[in-house]
Amino acid sequence: MIQSMTGYGNAVAEFGGKKIHVEIKSLNSKALDLSTRIAPLYREKEMEIRSFIQGHLERGKVDLSIWVEKEAALTADPVNVALASQYYNELTSMASTLNIDTKTTDWMTLLLRMPDIMSHTEIEVLSDEEWQVVNKTLCEAVGNLIDFRKQEGQALQRKFTEKIENIRSLLHSITPYEQSRVEKIRQRIIDGLSQLSGVDYDSNRLEQEMIYYIEKLDISEEKQRLTNHLDYFLQTMNEGAGGQGKKLGFIAQEMGREINTTGSKSNQAEMQNIVVQMKDELEQIKEQVLNVM
């Protein structure tokens, strides 16, 4: 079963009056390209986070975000009462020395405007308990991303199967034209020679040359190889090992070679029209196979 590289997962947990959000998104990429935006408190665990993701996501351009929502009571900056008291004592002492009347002074407003009165000096330390919650939330988000990738992979697999069977059906539809084409080519050559006056030719040699010419236009091998590639594509999709994207891309390239060779040998409008339809189906496969992990 294939997986898509396109996916999204998120998870939310609560710890100590705050909400911990983990969001992870992925798009197609040739290799794993990981970008992170991690809340400052958890940055010390970045290498561990990266190692975990690299162990679970093989390919894709992955964006990881971890951020925290705190309750209003936790985010409000406290008043530095000790510093405010020091400011008040110094101001009243200065006013007394300078004989300044302080009866009408709005002390509350004045003190709140003083430097460093409103300050948040608490230093947060990541505890083991909080990290366990973050790690569990990260696992949940990555799990949701993988589930999303599997769902997208199922949709891709149905699409690929449809396109492969369309190509197979078109390949079968070539057979009647292929058989009639040989007779038309043979008759065209004979008619052309009959119109040449005064030219003598060896009928046995002509027959040998016609056989050689017709064999060069034969597409039996191309049809057989293309059929094998179609079967191999379906077989590869159903492998459970994962990481089939590159392999499917190579098979699609080989399918394209056989279809192109068939087109170059067709030498008949009806067959060439069918080849164009096969190319259209194959192009849709090539576009989507870039999203397969």
- Give residue 84's pLDDT: 77
In-domain check, residue 121: no
Judge if 134 and 95 occupy the same domain.
no
Q: Is residue 200 part of a domain?
A: yes
* CATH code assigned at 144: 3.30.230
Regarding whether 47 and 33 lie in a shared domain, the answer is yes
**pLDDT tens digits, residue range 152-173?**
999 999 999 999 999 999 999 9
CB 138: neighbour CB atoms within 10 A?
Answer: 24
Q: Is residue 122 part of a domain?
A: no
Same domain, 213 and 226: yes
- Mean residue pLDDT across the chain: 85
Residues 138, 216 within the same domain: no
Alpha helices in the chain (DSSP H): 46-56, 72-75, 81-97, 107-112, 128-173, 175-194, 203-216, 220-237, 245-266, 269-289
Rounded to 5°, the CA angle 257-260-265 comes to: 125
Residues 133 and 265 placed together within one structural domain of the fold: no
Same domain, 68 and 183: no
The three-state DSSP-derived secondary structure of 13-76 is EEECCEEEEEEEEEECCCCEEEEEEECHHHHHHHHHHHHHHHHHCCCEEEEEEEEEEECHHHHC
Structure-token pair, residue 288: 């989507």
Task: Write the pLDDT tens digit of every residue in 2-38.
Answer: 899 999 999 999 998 889 999 999 999 988 999 999 9
DSSP state of 292: B
Please report whether residue 120 resides in a domain. Answer: no
If asked whether residues 184 and 246 sit together in one domain, one would say: yes
Q: Distance (Å, rounded) from C-alpha 14 to C-alpha 130?
A: 9
Give the mean pLDDT of 255-277.
89
Mean pLDDT of 208-228: 80
CB 254 within 8 A of CB 232: no
Confidence at 73, pLDDT banded by 50, 70, 90: very low
Which residue is associated with the tokens 């162990």?
Answer: 55
Q: Are residues 201 and 276 in the same domain?
A: yes
Residue 267 belongs to some domain of the structure: yes
Assess whether pLDDT exceeds 60 at residue 217: yes
Structural domain count of the chain:
3
Domain match, 166 and 62 both: no
pLDDT tens figures, 49-62: 999 999 998 889 99
Burial class (CB in 10 A: 0-12, 13-18, 19+), 220: exposed
Examine the pLDDT at 182 and tell me if it is beyond 60: yes
Domain that holds residue 99: 79-112
Dihedral angle sign, alpha carbons of residues 260, 264, 269, 271: negative
What integer is the mean pLDDT of 127-138? 94
Quote the tokens at residue 14.
């609560």
Report the distance separating Cα 92 and Cα 184, nearest Å.
Answer: 115
Residues 93 and 179 reside in one and the same domain: no
Q: Tell me which of 89, 112, 135 is where a domain ends.
A: 112
Residue 236 lies in a domain: yes
Burial of 15: CB neighbours in 10 Å, binned 0-12, 13-18, 19+: middle
Which tokens sit at 125?
A: 């330390």
pLDDT the model gives residue 250: 95
pLDDT at 80: 72
Q: Do residues 14 and 85 both lie within one domain? A: no
Question: How far is the C-alpha of 65 from the C-alpha of 21, rounded, in Å?
Answer: 8
| 125 — pLDDT class (breaks 50, 70, 90) | confident
Kindly state whether residues 172 and 270 are assigned to the same domain. yes
* Block residue for tokens 């947060």: 124
